Amino acid sequence: MTQVELVCLQLLLQTLLWVFGALAFREERSATLHWLAYAATGALATWLMSLRTGQPGWISGPGATLAYFVSLLLACRGVEVFLRLRTVDQAYRVMLVAAVLGLAWIGPAPDAARYRTALMSSLSVLLLVLVIRQSWRSIQSEFGLVMAVPAALSALTMGALHVAQVMRSWHHPEALTATAVDVTTVPSGTWVLLLVSAAGFNYLFLFLVALRLVNTLRNQARIDHLTGLLNRRAMTRILEAEWVRHQRSGLPFTLICVDLDFFKRINDEHGHAGGDEVLRTIATRLKAALRSNDRVARMGGEELLVLLPGCRADGHGRESADRVRVALGCEPVLLSSGRSVKVTASFGVSGVRPGDLNAEQVMARADAALYRAKAAGRDCVVLG
C-alpha cells in the first residue's frame, strides 16, 4: 500500500468514527457532522491527489488542493459549533472565494505549483490562527488548560506544516513541481505529520465530546432540574467537606434554612406550573443576592438551604439572610399567565459553635430557628 493510499484509508476510518459519533452523541450532532464532513473531504482530497500520475489536470491539481482547504474549513467551523461560539462565516466565505479565484487564476500547470502552495498554505495558516484565537479561551474555560494545550498544539502542528510548505515553495520549487506531476514524490515526513495532526485532532475532539457528556451527567446528578440550584445530595457532600475544612482550619461557616411562606396556597391558586415558576424566580433572586462562593440548594419542595463559608451567624450570616429576605419579597413574581404573586419567606440562621460534633447539629439549630420564624409571623429572620 502506498503512502497516499494509507493516508486516504486513515481519513476514511476517521470518517467512520464520526459517523458513529453523530449517532451516539445526539446533543453534539451538528459539530460531529462538521467533523464527519472534514474527514470525508480530506479523504477525497487525498484520493484526488493520488490521480497525479502524469500531466496534472484541474481535478488532481487545484481540485485536490481546494478539497483539502474545504476540509480544514469544515473542521474549524465544527470547533466553533461545538464550543457554542459565534461562527465567523463571513471570514470563511471570503477565504473560500479567495481560494477558488486564486486557484482558477493560477491554474494546474506544474511550474505554478509554488504559487498554488503559497496561496493555499497561507490561507490555511490564517484559518488555523483564527480558530485558535476563537476557541482557546472557551476550551480552557470548559475543559481546563490540560485540554486546551493539546487542542492548540494540534492546530499549531498543522499550521507549522503549512508554513514549511510556503518556505519550501520558494526555496525548493523544483520539488513542488515534481509533486504536482507525481504525488509519490511527497516526502514521507510530510505524510506522517499530516496523519499525526489529523488523528490528533479527531481523537482529541472525540474525547472532548465524551468529556462534555460525562460532565453533563455529573451536573444532572447534583443539580435540581427545576431551579438549577444544588440538590440535597450535592449539598450534603459540600457540607461534609465544609465541616472537614472547619475542623482543620477553624474557619466558621453559617447555614440559613429558607422556607417560602404559604407555598401550598400558591400551588392551590395558580397550579403546580405556577408554583414551579415561583420557585425558579426565587432561586434566581436568591443566587443574585449572595456571594459567588456561597452555596444554595433546594432540599425539597419549597425548602432551601444556604451555606455561607467563612461567616459567623451573628454577623455576616444574619445580614445575608436579611438581604435575601428583602430581595425575595422586593416585587411580586410575574407568572406566564399574566398574574402576579407576592412571595415572602422565613429564615432560620445558625453558625458552627465550639462543641459541635458535625454539620447536622448546625443545620438542626437553623431548622429550629426557621420554625420559630414561622411561629413569629413569617417573613422574618431568626437566629438560632
Tens-place pLDDT, residues 212-243: 888 888 877 888 889 989 999 999 999 999 99
Phi, then psi, of 304 in degrees rounded to 5: -125, 155
List, in order, residues 6 or more apart from 40 with CB less than 8 Å away. 11, 12, 15, 71
Match 498544539 to its residue by C-alpha cell. Answer: 153
Q: Give the chain's mean pLDDT.
A: 86
Predicted confidence (pLDDT) at residue 371 exceeds the cutoff of 90? yes
41-61 pLDDT per residue, tens: 988 988 888 777 766 678 878
Q: Which residues of 257-269 are buried (b: 16+ CB within 10 A; e: fewer)?
A: bbbbbebeebbee
Predicted local distance difference test score (pLDDT) of residue 254: 95
> With helix as H, strand as E and coil as C, how does 262-316 read?
CHHHHHHHHHHHHHHHHHHHHHHHHHHCCCCCCEEEEEECCEEEEEEECCCHHHH
> Which DSSP string do the residues of 208-235 spell out, in sequence order?
HHHHHHHHHHHHHHHB-TTTSSB-HHHH
118-141 pLDDT per residue, tens: 888 889 989 989 989 889 999 988
Least confident of 108-112, 263-267, 315-319: 108-112
Residue 337, CA atoms < 13 Å, CB-side half-sphere: 14
Domain 232-383 has CATH 3.30.70.270: yes
Share of the chain above pLDDT 90, in %: 39
List, in order, residues 6 or more apart from 324 with CB less than 8 Å away. 256, 258, 286, 289, 290, 306, 345, 347
> Considering only CA atoms, which of 299, 196, 288, 156 is closest in space to residue 239?
299
List, in order, residues 6 or more apart from 208 with CB less than 8 Å away. 82, 139, 143, 147, 151
pLDDT band at 169 (very low <50, low <70, confident <90, very high): low
Q: CA-CA distances (angstroms) from residue 153 to 82, 134, 150?
A: 18, 15, 5
CA distance 384 to 362: 9
Predicted local distance difference test score (pLDDT) of residue 199: 79
